[in-house]
Structures are given as structure tokens and as C-alpha cells.
Structure 1
Amino acid sequence: MSQPLRETRARPPAGLFLFSLSNRLIDMIPVVETKSASDDVASAFEDFARAFEAFKEANDTRLSEIETRLSGDVVTEEKLARIDGALDEAKRRLDRLALDRSRPPLGQGADAPRDPAQGEHKAAFHAYIRTGESGGLKRLEEKALSAGSGPDGGYLVPDAVEREVLRRLSAVSPIRAIASVRVISGGQYKRAFSASGPATGWVGETAARPQTASPALSELSFPAMELYAMPAATQTLLDDAVVDIDRWIAEEVEAAFAEQEGTAFVKGDGINKPKGFLAADTVEEEIWEWGRLGTVNTGGATFPASNPSDVLVDLVYALKSGYRQNAAFVMNRRTQSAIRRFKDSSGQYLWSPPAGLGQAATLMGFPVVEAEDMPDIAANQCAVAFGDFKRGYLIVDRAGMRVLRDPYSAKPYVLFYTTKRVGGGVQDYAAIKLLKFAA
């Protein structure tokens, strides 16, 4: 329930979102306050839930006005848009708080090196990062520990740092969080598949067994492409013994890698980058065939004016039941904003806020993954994807992340050319369906 509202003309405290919840008053609802790391994240979740109640109240008012006047009031539409934007911002802040809370400190606990060789590698890597001294890493090379690749290609980071980078990417890269991930030792991963399977049939106990056709096998290939970031630091920062070098590297490359990966996994063309699922060939669901993703058309460039949620039901049931058990919706923030207003025949909202910290919002009971690289609602665009991405999309990570120290190119800064190799593509074309805004 919304708390009682009071008219106020005082300047609101920082960190509060302002929206109009009445045509006559400008009221103030606390959505998410700026919190320190020690604040209770649960209070931010409660604020988000109250904001969603305000959204439902405003949208119900809009729908009532449409029923009585055949059009919505301009003030009500503006009010709903402001609350909707604030709700999105509140969800992003809540996700950041939950993410920061879940990150373990590097160099402690499970990440602390237990193997003496790992400890030696970590110490040598720190010396290389801080001072450029590569002698320790070269000695490890000579001992055949495969710790480095020489000064031209950079040196491998410690295992703890690589694990932390991948862990962070799984949390902030939307498609990586729901897709299958496989670590490979070579530059390419290949797998055989059978689109049709062997012929089978029923026979009696003594009846003849006719020979069945052999399955037709094909091969899928997933090459690992090079992804790079180049964080910079001053030598003063590197000389500071208090600075956690492992954490600094992980935090610096996290955003750059996640942004590039997110774009490639959704719409990458496969040229020097992974191939996104939207880059796959498509065909209408009625004539679907292996090697293409099936599409469900909305009938126009937007959702239908009457019963717009019906196309979402069609999309859900275009997927076979075996895939629906672990399926999720993928869309961007603007598409989610439009769908958030839909109701079922009993008047219940189809979109529901997260049930707890670190959980996703749901649509018709299925998780909603927000991927900003998904296209907006427009003619001939596949703005919504639905499927079991764990079975439908594969990400391959080449083991090893390298860092090359460059103190010369951008003085007085030291550049760290950081590379990892990653690939991806659709591995099961029956596991993902697309909602296409077309006739």
C-alpha cells in the first residue's frame, strides 16, 4: 500500500526521486536513497516495491480515464512516464547494491593462493605490474609453469584475478548470466549435432527389425576472438602498497569487457567477434527449420491495440515445453517499460517486480533479462527474445587472460593492455524464439 502523501514545497533531500502522483499535488516518494556500503540493502528493495505500487496506481488511473474519456489525460500520461523512469533507475541502483554486496574481496578466503606455485606467480605478477620487473615471470616460464607468454604478448594474470573477472562478467553481462559458458584451451570449439536424429519405430517381439536411417551429423564451430581493454594508472598509484592490484585490474576491465561482450552476444556479426543470436537467420515460426530462429509476428510495427499481451502468449507457447521450464525474456529497458503496463483478463499485471534481492523481475512468471543492446520496438525489429538460453546460446572462453605493461605510450600514465579471448553463437536453434514487430 502507498503511504499517506503530504504536500510539500521544501527542497527534497538528495537521492529522492520526484514524481507527481496526483493531478493537483506534487508529492514525494522515497524510492532509493544514496547508501553507503554498510547500509541495509533490504531497505532499498522495500523502496523499490513501494515505487511499483505507485506505478500501478498511476497506470490504473490512466486506464480508467481511457475507458471514460476514450483518451488518457496528458498530466496522467506525464506522471506515469516519470514514475516509470524512476522505477527503472531504482531497479538499476538496487542491482548495483546487490552486486557490490556479493563481490568477495580478492586475495582473501577462497581466492587466496594455496599452491606455492600460484603464490609465486602472484608475487611475480604484482612486481611486474607495479615496477615492470618481468624477471620473476620469465623464470616461471623457464620452469615450464606456463605462467607467461613473453613480453610481446604480455603475461598471464593469476588464476584468482581471471576467476574474479569472469565472475564479475557473469553478474553484469546479461547474456553471459543466462547462457552456457565453456572454457577451452584452444582457439576454437567444435561440436557435432544431429538436427533430426536416427529413425525409430515400434515392433513386435518376433517381428523383423528393419534397418533405420543413420542420423545426419553436422558441425557447429565457435572460434574465440580477442577482446581487449586498456586501463591506465599513474606510477604513484602503482607504488602505493595499500592499493589492491588484483581488485584494481578486475574493476577496470569489468565495464569495458561487459559492454563489448553484451553487444556481441546480442547482435555481433561474427567477424572478429562472437556471433549474436539476433544475427542468426530467422523464419516465421509456422515454417521453422533447423539453422534458423523462429519468429512470432505482432501484426504491425507496435503491439496490437486490442489485447496486446496475446502476442506474448503466442511467443511463450511457440517454444516447446522442454525449453519453457528454464526460459527467460530478453528485452531492453524501453520495451520492458511498454510491457510493464499490460494486464491479463482478470486485471492482474503481467509484469511483477523482483521477489527478493538479486532476483529478476518476471513477466508471466518467467524472468526478464534487461539487455540494452536489444532493439527498440519498431517495424521489422525483433525487440523481444524468449527461450532457454542455457541450451540455446553458447559462450566459449579461452583459458588465460594476459596483461602487457606499457609505460611509454601515454606518459605519465602506465597503460595495461589486457586481453582475453571469447566466442559465442547459437547452439540450439529450437531453444530461442523472437517476437518480430511486423505484419
Structure 2
Amino acid sequence: MIPVVETKSVTDDVASAFEDFARAFEAFKDANDTRLSEIETRLSGDVVTDEKLARIDTALDDAKRRLDRLALDRSRPPLAGHPEQQRDPAQAEHKTAFHSYIRTGEASGLKRLEEKALSAGSGPDGGYLVPDTVEREVLRRLSGISPIRAISSVRVISGGQYKRAFSTSGPATGWVGETAARPQTASPTLSEMSFPAMELYAMPAATQTLLDDAVVDIDRWIAEEVEAAFAEQESTAFVKGDGINKPKGFLASDTVEDQAWEWGSLGTVQAGGASFPAENPSNVLVNLIYALKAGYRQNAAFVMSRKTQSAIRRFKDDNGQYLWAPPASAGQAATLMGFPVVEAEDMPDIAAGECAVAFGDFKRGYLIVDRSGMRVLRDPYSAKPYVLFYTTKRVGGGVQDYAAIKLLKFAA
């Protein structure tokens, strides 16, 4: 009999959802152990057992997503009523003027504030800056639901792009005796990396009746409407964006076998076939882990799609212990061989010629740049009776340390 995994509403508390997830994983282990036992005795698995395992595997993924959503909702603070907002008259004035613009289209208050600030960066054509509290809340929510943003370095910039210098070859060094001559050493070779910020937009719609309702929290409504759209587009770009009008994803970088690795490309470890080998598949993961230098492994994480994680979830070590472990508590990540697992649906699934698993220290390896300021342009004309809110932010990204990320590549 297949264990039943209850589907609870989002109003259930996190503890209950975590218990559901733990029960689902125990059911998964029991079903998989049965499948492995059947393979050993019959040289093939039973179809009924395979179907049962697939259903429990899907239920386990659903329980994990529900748990993540509840943990994220619980961590969200209210946008209104912060003591620091009440103590800052300028911020309160900006927020009042912004609410007036959103609800009625009255922009005189925002224009007056921008004249006082000598701001020329917005206006009727480009929209108006949202309050800082709304921008911070949107970015914080994106960190919770955009998987690559959550593990990467993020830098806020005030211009159109961020540049940083890096050394392709350090100065020559050597050991010398106490009285030996010190020959002049070679100078380091420097190069420049550039991370331009591209425009990302969302266009939520609302009726005028909703906007006229004084009970509606406008700040929260904007944050909730744009977070999903921004997160989906960002996540795709950070993984496989081509760098044209969008950030450049780490999978868009040049790749080379790790033995011949050089700066400017990501090293790949070969899986040995178009899928994991039937015997000792965990050896491939061990090779991937130790392709990364020790200094990067300390804060490294696996990045893979849900289907790839589903396949790896069945792996065991020589002692019969599962390599994949569920999170120890709500809000934490599952682990694989002791390293966190980040689920990114934009990663390719296991297939011939694909780099289906990434492993590395993304804090050092991938950089996201956010241009400060998020703008909203109110449009009551294009989609009557709805009012559109053209919301834009500028974001860029790219690999900043090519030694910090390794890819597992399946043979073509």
C-alpha cells in the first residue's frame, strides 16, 4: 500500500509541512529499498514498485516546494509600520506621494520631491522611483525565490555597469638567501571584467476599484505582483542567459575539460556516458567535488534541476546510506554528500551533451549587479478598465571567478 502524503493548504504552519516532508522521504526510502531488493533477486524491478516510487518521488518534491513557500511566507515582515519609517520624515513624505501617484495618478508630489533632490533620472517617460522600503522588499523576496541570486554575490551599483580588475598572472616570486641578490620580478598582468545592468520589466494590472480601496496595502501589492515575474526571468538569465539585453548565465560560458582548464572558461568533469553509470554512480559526484580546489569547496553547493535531483536522490554509498539527505529543519536546503543542493529548474536535465550539474562556490564564482532604483510608470489608458503599472529594474550578472565553478557533463 502506498503511503498517503497529505496535501495541506498554505495556511498550515511550517512545522506541520516539515513533518509531511519527513514522512514523504521515509516512504521514498522504503519504496526505493524495495525496488533495489527486487532488482537483486529478479535482475529487474517490478513495474508496480517503479510506479509507486515515481509517485512518492513526485509527492516528495511537492512537499518540499510547499515547505519552502511556507518558510518564505513566514519570514516576510510587514511593509508598513516599521519604526524607522516613522522616524524618517523624508521617507514618509516620499511614500505618501508615491501612494497618491499609484492610486490616483497625481504626480505633483513626486515631481516636487525630485526637484528638491535635483533628480533627472525619472519622470513621465521613465516612471517614478518606488520607496526604498518597497525596493528592498522586492530584492529580499527575489533572494528567497530566485535560486541563483540566493547563493551568489550581489552588488548594488549607481551607474549603468560595474567594472572590476583581475590579475591573469601574478608577480614573479622566489626564495632567496639572506645575502643573495634580489633580481627584479615581473609585473602582474591585469585585465578588466565588465558587468552591464540590463533592464528587466513587469507590468501588473489592477482595477481602479482595487486602487481606491484604502484597505489595500499598495506597497505589498506591488511587491507580490512583480516578485514572481522578476524571479522567473532572473533565474533563467543567471543560468543560461546569452548576455544580449540580459545577464550572462554561467552555462553560457566557454567550457573545457578540467585537465586543460584555463581562465575564461569553466572546467567540466565527464560523467562517462549519456547518464550516470549503473555501478558506483556516486564516484562521478566525488570526481566533481574534488575537481574544485579546497578553498572553494568550503562554501560550495550543488545546482541542478528537479529531475536530476530525483535521479541522484536514489544513490547510496558503500554502507547503504543515502547520499541525498533532507533538510534538517524548515527553511534549510537538502544536502548531497554534505553539500547544499540548490534546485534550479533552468538547469538542463540529464541528457547527452548536457552539463546537468554545477558544483562550486557561487558567492565567489558568480556576481549579480543591481542598479539602485526601481521605477513604476502608471498607464491607465492602454488596457481600460485596468490600470497598468510598468515596473522596471536594472540587473546584470556574469561569472567573476572561473575557478570557483565546475560542471558535470554527460557524453554526447
Q: Would you say 1:408 and 2:381 are equivalent positions?
A: yes
* Residues in 2 aligned to 1:149 and 1:115: alpha-carbon distance in whole angstroms: 23
Amino acid in the other structure paired with 1:363: L
Q: 1:284 aligns with which of 242, 257, 267?
A: 257
Measured against aligned partners, the alpha-carbon deviations of 1:58-111 in whole angstroms (never above 9, x if no partner) come to 000000111111110000000000000000000000000101000001012266
Which of 80, 84, 97 matches 1:124? 97
Q: Assess if the C-alpha contact under 8 Å between 2:10 and 2:66 holds in 1.
A: no
SS at match of 2:373: coil
Q: 2:279 aligned with 1:306, yes or no?
A: yes
Distance 1:437 1:113 in 2: 56
* Residue 176 (structure 1) shift: 0.2
In percent, how many aligned pairs have the same letter?
A: 86
Give the partner amino acid of 2:257. Answer: E
Following TM superposition, by how much is the alpha carbon of 1:211 offset from its aligned partner in structure 2, in angstroms? 1.2
- Asked if residue 360 in structure 1 is aligned to residue 333 in structure 2, the reply is yes
Look up the match of 2:396. Answer: 423
CA contact (8 A) 1:185 1:399 kept: yes
Residue aligning to 2:82: 109
**Cα distance in 2 for residues equivalent to 1:68 and 1:281:** 46
Distance (whole Å) between structure 1 residues aligned to residue 400 and residue 83 of structure 2 = 33
Q: Counterpart of 2:5?
A: 30
Distance in 2 of aligned mates of 1:337 and 1:147: 51
Kindly indicate whether residue 149 of structure 2 is the aligned counterpart of residue 176 of structure 1: yes
Change (3 A) 1:286 1:113: farther
Alignment-derived partner of residue 262 in structure 1 = 235
Name 2:362's counterpart in structure 1: 389
Maintained 8 Å contact 2:272/2:410 = yes
Structure-2 change in CA distance of 1:110 and 1:349 (3 Å): farther
For residue 141 of structure 1, the aligned residue among 85, 99, 114 is 114
User: Is 2:317 the partner of 1:344?
Assistant: yes
Distance 2:172 2:40 in 1: 57
Partner of 2:33, secondary structure, is helix
- Once residues 111 and 335 of structure 1 are traced to their aligned partners in structure 2, the CA distance between those partners, rounded to angstroms, is 45
Q: Deviations over 1:7-28 (max 9, x none)?
A: xxxxxxxxxxxxx43xxxxxx4
* 1:31–1:50 contact (8 Å) kept in structure 2: no
Aligned residue for 1:112, secondary structure, equals: helix
With CA pairs under 8 Å and 6+ residues apart, which has the higher RCO, 1 or 2? 2
Q: What TM-score, normalized by structure 2, do the two folds share? A: 0.98
Aligned mate of 1:195, from 150, 168, 178: 168
Does 138-147 or 286-295 show the bigger shift? 138-147
**In the aligned structure 2, how far is the partner of 1:71 from the partner of 1:189?**
56
> Per the alignment, in what secondary structure is the counterpart of residue 400 of structure 1?
strand
Instruction: Could you tell me which runs of 5 or more consecutive residues in structure 1 were left unpaired when the two chains were aligned.
Output: 1-19, 22-27
Which of 53, 75, 78 matches 2:51?
78
Q: Whole-Å Cα distance in 2 between the matches of residues 164 and 180 of structure 1? A: 18
When the two chains are superposed, the root-mean-square deviation of aligned CA atoms in Å is 1.2
Distance 1:113 1:211 in 2: 61
Q: In the superposition, relative to structure 1, how do residues 68 and 384 fare at CA in structure 2: closer, same or farther (>3 Å)?
A: same
The 5 A counterparts of 1:9-28 are 20-21=1-2, 28=3
The 2-side partners of 1:221 and 1:214 are apart by: 23
Structure 2 residues without counterparts, runs of 5 or longer: none
Once the two structures are superposed, residues 259-300 of structure 1 have per-residue CA deviations (whole angstroms, 9 ceiling, x without a partner) of 000000000000000000000000000100010000001111
Question: Displacement of 1:243 after TM fit?
Answer: 0.3
| Counterpart for residue 155 of structure 1 | 128
Q: Is the 1:31–1:51 Cα contact (8 Å) retained in structure 2?
A: no
Residue 114 of structure 1 and its aligned partner are, at CA, apart by 2.8
Residue 207 of structure 1: SS of its match in structure 2? coil
Residue 253 of structure 1: aligned partner: 226
Partner letter of residue 373 of structure 2? G
